[in-house]
Amino acid sequence: MSAGTPRWDGLITGISLATLDGAGYGEIPDAALGWQNGRIVYVGPRADLPAPEDTLADQVIEASGWITPGLVDCHTHVVFAGDRAREFEMRLQGESYEAIARAGGGILSTVRAVRAASEDELLAQSLPRAKALVADGVTTLEIKSGYGLDLANERKMLRVARRIGEVLGIEVRTTYLAAHALPPEFSDDADGYIDAVLEWLPMLHGEGLIDAVDAFCEGIGFTPAQTRRVFEAAHTHGLPVKLHADQLSDLGGAGLVAEFDGLSADHVEYTSAESVQAMAGHGTVAVLLPGAFHVLRETKLPPLDAFREHGVPMAVATDCNPGTAPLLSLRQAMQLACTHFRLTPEEALRGATVHAARALGLDDRGVLKVGARADFVLWDIGHPAELGYWLGGRLCLGVFAGGRLIA
């Protein structure tokens, strides 16, 4: 380095890189990665470093293994109270998800538990789940509300989500999902409840608690017309939208969210060819949630070939939630995506990095390149394909967010 040039904050050498910058894994053997002020300043061969290593950075780490971009979990319900293990048992005994929900179980059972918990209690129950995701490579985490279903408890959930980011030192993107289910006090008035959801939206947004808006457009959720009202209100306040779309039936949800230039359509098992084309035309990401597919023992596959044909990016997320995806590892979600959806390991890794970041409207992460956030993971693997291969186990050697070791 020339005299007067600031030293980098950190430099890792000796590793192989899967940059995901360009085609394939973007592999660089015997590589180096340098960062300063939370941003990547060097990514490339070790032999091409601009100066002797000990003069470049305040901290020089010699390591082995592979480094990938930090994983981005773009669809979670991590903030909740209690669990629904008994409902899991009921489904295995033959009860359907819809029947359990209509009998007062499902989402509403979690709503009761969330409403009964204080903010600190909700944080104490939710934080270990977020820590587990981070420990297996997640550096950016989306967290939805939707188990409060009234103003005070939706606010409580979103506040806990923000606190999780502060405690763990990661970026948490919050999504307002009050249009998740119909609460008991509006049991016969879905339109009236949507009125309330739209009334709370500007209040919570004004408190800095909302990064995006979501809804559950489904027969046991809300109609396309009600969802449209939510999206129109979100756009009025300059908020991007995403949607739980076409999970159990085709109500045209993926096409609807694309119409609003939505960030993502999530689940998408029943998405039609027309909706796929709409997503492609509006840049809407398909978020695959193989954990829910697995737990619910679904058989209807998303239109994967159509997504590929039309160039719709496919993200992969955990959908971590108490009812249908009690999944605490995005790497495990990648493996399930390979097994159930026949994604290649490269597609799964891109789905949990590049495309997941896009599903959150973030263009400064998910890839290792100069200028990107210094979010990266050091893995004890011989090739990146192993991230979609191993079932369980501990492969993560270090998780860095903004250049800081956090796990």
pLDDT the model gives residue 191: 98
- Tell whether 2 is covered by a domain: no
Clarify whether residues 164 and 143 are in a common domain: yes
- Specify whether the CB–CB gap between 312 and 282 falls below 8 A: no
Report the b/e string of 29-47 with b at 16+ CB within 10 A: eebbbbbbeebbbbbbebe
Clarify whether residues 152 and 248 are in a common domain: yes
Residues placed in the known binding site for Fe(3+): 75, 77, 244, 319
Residues placed in the known binding site for 4-imidazolone-5-propanoate: 84, 147, 180, 247, 324
Clarify whether residues 305 and 244 are in a common domain: yes
Cα separation of 75 and 66, whole Å?
A: 26
pLDDT the model gives residue 101: 73
| Residue 388, helix vs strand vs coil | helix
What is the pLDDT confidence band of residue 234, given thresholds at 50, 70 and 90? very high
Clarify whether residues 63 and 98 are in a common domain: no
DSSP bridge pairs for 8: 57
Clarify whether residues 79 and 193 are in a common domain: yes
* pTM reported for the whole predicted model: 0.96
CA distances from 316 to 89, 265, 322, 336, 374 (A): 26, 12, 18, 10, 21
- Specify whether the CB–CB gap between 254 and 245 falls below 8 A: yes
Residues 6+ apart with CB under 8 A from 389: 335, 338, 345
pLDDT (tens digit per residue) in 258-313: 999 999 999 999 999 999 999 999 999 999 999 999 999 999 999 999 999 999 99
- Tell whether 115 is covered by a domain: yes
Higher-pLDDT residue of 70, 85: 70
Q: State the residue range of the domain holding 36.
A: 8-70+367-405
Residues placed in the known binding site: 75, 77, 84, 147, 180, 244, 247, 319, 321, 323-324
- Tell whether 3 is covered by a domain: no
| Average pLDDT value for the chain | 96
Report the 10 Å Cβ neighbour count for 137: 28
pLDDT (tens digit per residue) in 12-43: 999 999 999 999 999 999 999 999 999 999 99
Clarify whether residues 202 and 313 are in a common domain: yes
Clarify whether residues 354 and 314 are in a common domain: yes
Cα separation of 264 and 25, whole Å?
A: 24
| Residue 288, helix vs strand vs coil | strand
Give the number of residues written for the chain: 407
CA distances from 51 to 30, 57, 60, 264, 403 (A): 16, 10, 13, 43, 20
pLDDT the model gives residue 103: 72
Clarify whether residues 220 and 243 are in a common domain: yes
Cα separation of 246 and 253, whole Å?
A: 6
Cα separation of 290 and 325, whole Å?
A: 9
Clarify whether residues 236 and 280 are in a common domain: yes
Cα separation of 345 and 369, whole Å?
A: 21
DSSP 10-49: EEEEEEEEE--SSSTT-EEEEEEEEEETTEEEEEEEGGG-
Residues placed in the known binding site for N-formimidoyl-L-glutamate: 147, 321, 323
The H or E element that residue 139 is part of is: strand 138-144
In this predicted structure, the answer to whether residue 2 has a pLDDT above a threshold of 70 is no
Backbone angles phi, psi at 301, to 5 degrees: -80, 145
Which burial class, exposed, middle or buried, applies to 184 when counting CB atoms under 10 A from its CB (0-12, 13-18, 19+)? exposed
Residues 6+ apart with CB under 8 A from 349: 18, 20, 25, 68, 334, 384, 387, 388
Read off the CATH number of the domain in which 28 is found: 2.30.40.10
Q: How many domains does the chain have?
A: 2
Clarify whether residues 241 and 379 are in a common domain: no
Cα separation of 271 and 250, whole Å?
A: 6
Q: Average pLDDT for residues 117-133, to the nearest whole number?
A: 98
The stretches of 301-344 forming alpha helices (DSSP H) are 304-310, 330-341
Longest dimension (CA), the chain: 72
Read off the CATH number of the domain in which 331 is found: 3.20.20.140
pLDDT the model gives residue 100: 79
pLDDT (tens digit per residue) in 82-94: 999 888 888 888 8
Q: Average pLDDT for residues 144-160, to the nearest whole number?
A: 98
Residues placed in the known binding site for Zn(2+): 75, 77, 244, 319
